[in-house]
Structure 1
Amino acid sequence: MAQQVTSRSFLERLAVLEDQVAQLRRTGWERDELPVYPTSLHAMPYEDDTTFITTWETVLSPRTGSLSLGLVFIGDFVGTTNTGGAWQVLLNGADVVMSGTIAATYSYQFAAQVIDLTPYRTLTGLKLQIQVRRTSGATTGGKYGSGGAVAIAPRYARLL
């Protein structure tokens, strides 16, 4: 037997829409996770270079006012020598919005910050780069042979 689909009236559609809006209001602010992709040729977030190297990056549309970014990093231990480094986060290829050091302790360290995106709201694409470099420690051996390596990775990246 053939079934007929009746179209919904305007009032029925309005009631469904009002219910959906009320449900969204009850859930509060939603946060969009931002994917960040590895760029290192080593396929891991470890780097042993002494100049800043981009290990993670992404391009986003700055639709929101801020980005909450959390990072984790660790130094290296080669023989009896600990290796440390420095890290920075760039927006738009040149603006350093976060930076710090990686202690030569071979233990995990964490950094987190909410980054203001309002100066970039007019851009259609905004490049985010996470960079790292080795600043101290072993100069031979290590993960890739040219000294201790420092690792950095994003823990989370949320558009708020």
Structure 2
Amino acid sequence: MPQRVRDVSWPARLARVEERLAQLERTGWERDELPLYATTFTAMPFSDSTSFSTLLENTFTPRTASLALGLTFVGDQVAGVNTGGEWQVLLAGAVVWSGLVAATYTVQYAVTTLDLLPYRGATELLIQIQTRRTAGANTGGRNGNGGSIGLSPRFARFA
């Protein structure tokens, strides 16, 4: 059986390395994802409360310097009245990111990168995503308390 002699020349070795690098770039990079668990039993967590309530959470050990987070929000509409509200992200009980849900009954997207360096010494870090209703109908809706704020995570990646 014939045996192949490997080419040990510098240009040939460089060409093989470049081909392997190009193959890796075509396949993409794998990233660590952080799952966020819903605190309700619905497909898309929602809250019609007028005080902040946790809809998504997880406890994790910070392994990297940052967490890229993408969220989706939508208000409700009850009897022609649009629901608006607020949302906030907490790390270890402290608000690190917040925003508004417009009372326009449209889907809104929010993206940021959270700094995990202050929490690197922690063995367990609780992340919570909370919403509350601030405008809209006061009656009707799914639970009779008026409209609700829907929340869905798009991604949560360690960066």
How many residue pairs get matched? 137
- Residue 120 of structure 1 aligns with an amino acid whose one-letter code is Y
Deviation at 1:30, TM superposition (A): 4.0
Q: TM-score, normalised by structure 1?
A: 0.80
Runs of 5+ unmatched residues, structure 1? 1-21
Structure 2 partner of 1:55: 55
What value does the CA root-mean-square deviation take over the aligned residues?
1.9
1:32 match: secondary structure: coil
- Residue 144 of structure 1 aligns with an amino acid whose one-letter code is N
Report the Cα distance in structure 1 between the residues aligned to 2:58 and 2:36, rounded to whole angstroms: 5
- Residue 32 of structure 2 aligns with an amino acid whose one-letter code is D
Structure 1 partner of 2:156: 157
Structure 2 partner of 1:135: 134
Report the Cα distance in structure 1 between the residues aligned to 2:124 and 2:51, rounded to whole angstroms: 26
How is 1:80-91 mapped onto 2 (pairs within 5 angstroms)? Answer: 80-91=80-91
Report the Cα distance in structure 2 between the residues aligned to 1:136 and 1:33, rounded to whole angstroms: 34
Q: TM-score, normalised by structure 2?
A: 0.80
Deviation at 1:90, TM superposition (A): 0.2
Deviation at 1:60, TM superposition (A): 1.0
The percent of aligned pairs where both chains have the same amino acid is 54
The answer on whether the counterparts of 2:48 and 2:133 sit within 8 Å (CA) in structure 1 is yes
Report the Cα distance in structure 1 between the residues aligned to 2:57 and 2:133, rounded to whole angstroms: 19
Structure 1 partner of 2:103: 104
Structure 2 partner of 1:113: 112
Structure 2 partner of 1:19: none
